[in-house]
Amino acid sequence: MTAVAAPAPARLGHAAGAWRAFLLQLALYRHIWHGTAFSSVILPILYMVSIGIGVGSYIDDASTGGITYAEFIAPGLIASVAVMMLGNDMVYPVFGGYREWGGSYLAQRATPLRPVDILNGHLLYAVVFRPLTACTVVAVVLAFFGVYTSAWAALAVVAAVFVSASIAPWLFAWCSSLKSESMLNAVFRFAIMPITLFSGVFFPAEQMPGFLQPLVWLSPLWHGTELARAATADVAPALPPIAHLAYLVALGAGGWLAARRVVVRRLSF
Amino acid sequence: MPLDNEILVRARDLRKRYGNHEAVRGVDFEIRRGEAFGFLGANGAGKSTTMRMIGCVSEPSGGHLEVFDLDPHTDGPAIRARLGVVPQDNTLDTMLTVFENLTVYAGYFGIKRREAKAKAAELLEFVQLSARANDQVNDLSGGMQRRLAIARSLINAPDLVLLDEPTTGLDPQARHLVWERLFQLKQQGVSILLTTHYMDEAEQLCDRLVVMDEGRIIAAGSPRELIDTYVTKEVVELRFAGRHTTALAELALELDGIGGQIEPLPDRILVYTDDAEDTAAALEARDIRPTSVLDRRATLEDVFLRLTGRALVEDEA
């Protein structure tokens, strides 16, 4: 048998570790990309036709800050696609990674990869690769509806990446620490669904009752939507852009620290 | 096979504690390059825990451990880069094809894609799965999945392959196929460390082994040495129709002095002897008439029984 000289550096860099772990996600994606590409094209068309144009025909531009309703919801749609994708990429794949039927983290753990590489590799896929590809497709499809009034519209995709980065590590931490599969649905019921509905994507957040406003401010999707809307429609966001960004980065960083703690514990026997 | 003297794994007073339970209670052993080394013991003996510490996925609670002269605490990734691991559960990726399972795994070791593909094809040939390269893992039988896991463990040309219960759950034919591949690896000079609770597996594959019980090593040596040291050359198995457990224990007292040690089991009595014919004659003389007498060579199973008073396989469901 020919010997393969496996490069065995004394120290595996964090970037290299994350990249190697990411290769698994990429290989898996090659098996499912047709389905996701289809939904990336069809989903925004359905939303735009039914809600953007259908519901929008009843809505006065004045109530959406002087832009059409389709223009109002387009940036939020781009950002919310990133949130919805996390429901696929960061729930069952993370939970199963530690189990006999999935086991991909257990397999990776037996190799030079450290638990933190396994975490970073999955995040690289869910936070960077997936939003950059899928949200770009969504943004391009929406362009055909003529919903961008700013030259900076492409930055809405970047806002979507930040939204993803702020939520994904928390999902990783939560799904890594669960003992039972039944709790996974809670992610959709109590996180993804309410975040998508109450973050100022489909109506201005100020329309929400006052006592719910703090929840809106907590929602990463609201911050992302504000940034994305500034990019696509040149509307001034609720806070200075740097404040929205800082919130998303801080939330993501806190999540990453929590996720690192959990993944190290789960993969140390 | 001449053994190189290079020591790959060195453990001194190695311990692992989970809460109040001490799974490994101070074990000492060395594993040398080129040898097939076994951890033999019943379920819960501490074999897999010891294996996980060597595999640098479990931090020892005490004692000293060196793998490839490196410290698992600080050099885990570098050590794991030189190990091949076949876990009990295979942990194959069921969403990927057979071939992808190897090439993706190669990526974890930083092996370039072209090289990984060539190596994967070669390893599939070795484990006789080339024809299934593009199949989904779920379509493979249990034995084939285990062979794929073995192929995967060799992707980085490891210095030491760790196999945790390599044939547990496989049917006899699949077991023999796995053994054949492992034996071939041994012939190629690959160092192997395996845990097992199958005596025949340990006898066939291991140059040297340690017998573990309740977290301790209770005996060490080659299979032959262990048999020579702890039991007699032959074993006579006596069965008495209709008599079990207590009845057999009482009957065993009547056999005192007939051979070496007498071991009553729930369904039979074992008489350790250096001469089975003498033992048969002595039974005749005492007018003890078993319904069946089986004379066989002593095995590692007898060593384990002798050392612990328990059969190795009794924990199996």
Quick: pLDDT tens for B65-103.
999 999 999 999 999 999 999 999 999 999 999 999 999
Q: Tell me the pLDDT tens digit for each residue of B211-234.
A: 999 999 999 999 989 988 988 888
pLDDT(B181) > 70? yes
The predicted pLDDT at position B169 comes to: 84
Measured between CA atoms, the residue of chain B closest to residue A1 is B122
On chain B, the residues whose CB falls within 8 A of the CB of A27 are: 96, 100, 103-104
Burial label, B141 (beta-carbon count in 10 A; 0-12, 13-18, 19+): exposed
The predicted pLDDT at position B26 comes to: 96
| pLDDT confidence tier of residue B312, bands split at 50, 70 and 90 | low
Q: Which CATH number fits domain B232-297: 3.40.50, 1.20.120, 3.30.70, 1.10.1760?
A: 3.30.70
Which residue stretches of chain A have pLDDT < 50?
2-9
Q: Looking at chain B, which residues constitute the CATH 3.30.70 domain(s)?
A: 232-297
ipTM field: 0.89
pLDDT(B194) > 70? yes
Contact A196, A112 (CB under 8 A): no
Smallest CA–CA distance, residue A223 to chain B, in Å, is: 36
Interface of B with A (CB under 8 A): 49, 52, 55, 57-59, 75-78, 80-83, 85, 87, 89-96, 100, 103-105, 107-111, 115, 119, 122, 126, 154-157, 188
pLDDT(B315) > 60? no
The predicted pLDDT at position A187 comes to: 86
Most A CBs within 10 Å, among B104, B148, B153, B168, to test the A interface? B104
CA distance B168 to B154: 20
Q: Cβ of A112 and B109 within 8 Å?
A: yes
Q: What is the mean pLDDT of residues B183-190?
A: 88
On chain B, the residues whose CB falls within 8 A of the CB of A109 are: 57
CA distance B257 to B279: 10
The DSSP bridge partners found for residue B263 are: B270
Dihedral sign, CA of B291, B295, B299, B303? positive
CA distance A224 to A213: 16
Q: Looking at chain B, which residues constitute the CATH 3.40.50.300 domain(s)?
A: 7-222
pLDDT(B2) > 50? no
Nearest to B119 among A4, A23, A114 (CB): A4
Higher per-residue pLDDT: A155 or B43: A155
Smallest CA–CA distance, residue B81 to chain A, in Å, is: 5
On chain A, the residues whose CB falls within 8 A of the CB of B107 are: 20, 23-24
Fold that domain B7-222 belongs to in CATH: Rossmann fold (3.40.50)
Dihedral sign, CA of B97, B102, B106, B111? negative
What are the counts of helices (DSSP H) followed by strands (DSSP E) for chain A?
Answer: 13, 0
